[in-house]
Structure 1
Amino acid sequence: MTSHFNTKERILHAAEDLFAQHGFAGTSLRQVTSRADVNIAAVNYHFGSKENLVNEVFKHRMDDMSEKRLSALAKAVENDPNDLEGILLAFIQPALALTLDRHGGAFVRVLARAYAEKNDGLRNFLSENYGQVLREFAKAIAHCLPQLSKEELYWRMDFVAGALTYAMADFGLIKRQNGVSEKAHCEKAAQHLIRFAKAGLQA
């Protein structure tokens, strides 16, 4: 059983790295098997198809992140249902924490690819499996900002999610300074993003 687990993990990490470098369409299963040092039968056994492999790369990361987000959201709402900053922290912190993971950096680039490449199958998969997480946050934010229409709330949440993805990808003007740890840089990014998102949602 352990060898199966290791093989599956190796395939997922290889696919994640290659998708980050070359995109989904630009990566072949042959490249994945070569990087993971497995044969094509192993990919077919564990995933069945390239489309399923793409989905599983996301599931591998998103399941854990979604669980942490919902757990943090439940605690924030229980503490104070009107604490918009606490709700935003529950949304933002687990996502930024991915960037601290040894393999998480590649997934962040894969996530950016998902936004850039038109892949309807992947978008449907993400919507079906993780749309409920966003709806839970929308409900909590709507409680804090009852004056916003549903459409206006969703527009603003889209912009917050976009800013978060940008911050995760570390594309911006602010770079980690020498002597500042990744964790400290990540925490500072979260603080700035929460203030920015709160102002935008309340505008």
Structure 2
Amino acid sequence: MDTKNKILDAAETLFADKGFNGTSLREITSLADVNLAAVNYHFGSKKELIKAVMSRYMNELAPRLENSLVLVCQQEQQPSLLEVFSAFIEPLLSLNVFRENGTSNFLQLLGRGYTDSQGFLRWFLTTQYPGVITHFVEAVQRAFPELTAEDIFWRLHFTMGTVIFTMSSSDALIDIAENDFDQSLDIGDVIRKVIPFVSAGVGAPLQVK
């Protein structure tokens, strides 16, 4: 394996486990068995390394997800919000083919981008991969046209919070399902369980009486 990918693999492992703030470059170089000069040469800074770790996944995910959302928007009948959110399943699970435990790792990293207050990373993802957000919002508007731009902002914010909390504790949830309910689940099952919940939340009545 070349030096650049050794650094990316080590950074991904540590970022997912300890967070972006909790991981030092020294820990990354130690795990990758490289020196700090190699990190600076290939990436220049910790922020650029974080972007590179996320881009490795997003470059694989974004085209699949955009295509899946476009298909939802192009169907003749008005889509349901359940159909809109279900469009995420196959693209996300395809990350397991791309990298071992890719789906879980990516969702953990995405969650870290929010819980670690990595504003630059959220900006990077929305500006570098704008098609994902554009097609997703378009699909939500087709399914629930009564929602204003402000409604969508808040509901997608709440959705992201639910998804991040769920995925950050997915290993524990899978263990609980096995121990308490005798269910053998994987990350795909967890995703399928959360989708009806967030779909119903985005489609909730616009006013509370």
TM tier relative to shorter chain: 0.7 to 0.9
**Cα distance per residue 1:50-78 (max 9 Å; x no partner):** 11101111111122122221121122223
Pick closer, same or farther for the CA change 1:158–1:123 going to 2, 3 Å: same
Report the counterpart of residue 207 of structure 2 in structure 1. none
Aligned position for 1:193: 194
Q: Is the 8 A contact 1:81 1:143 kept in 2?
A: no
Q: Which residue of 1 aligns with 2:100?
A: 102
How far 1:176 sits from its partner (Å)?
4.5
Give the alignment partner of residue 83 of structure 2, picking from 86, 89, 113.
Answer: 86
In structure 2, relative to structure 1, the CA distance for the partners of 1:128 and 1:146 (3 Å cut) is: same
**Residues 135 and 112 (structure 1), Cα distance of their counterparts in 2 relative to 1, 3 Å cut:** same
Percent of matched pairs sharing the same residue: 36
- The total of aligned residue pairs comes to 196
State the one-letter code of the partner of 1:59: S
Matches of 2:93 and 2:166, distance apart in 1: 8
| Deviation string, structure 1 residues 63-102 (Cα, Å, up to 9, x no partner) | 2122221121122223345222322111355336657852
Give distance in 2, aligned partners of 1:33 and 1:56: 16
SS of structure 2 residue aligned to 1:153: helix
Q: Does the aligned pair in 1 maintain the 2:79–2:142 contact within 8 Å?
A: no
Unaligned runs of 5+ in 1: none
Q: 1:65 to 1:176 in 2, by over 3 A?
A: farther
| TM-score between the two structures when normalised by the length of structure 1 | 0.80
**Conservation of the 8 A alpha-carbon contact between 2:70 and 2:135:** no
**In 2, are the aligned partners of 1:69 and 1:94 still within 8 Å (CA)?**
yes
Question: Aligned-pair distance for 1:181?
Answer: 5.3
Structure 2 segments unaligned to the other structure (5+ residues): 205-209
Amino acid at match of 2:62: S
Normalising by structure 2, report the TM-score.
0.78
Distance 2:6 2:39 in 1: 10
Pick aligned residue for 2:57 from 58, 61, 67: 61
Mapped to 1, the partners of 2:23 and 2:191 lie a distance apart of: 33
Q: 1:191 to 1:119 in 2, by over 3 A?
A: closer
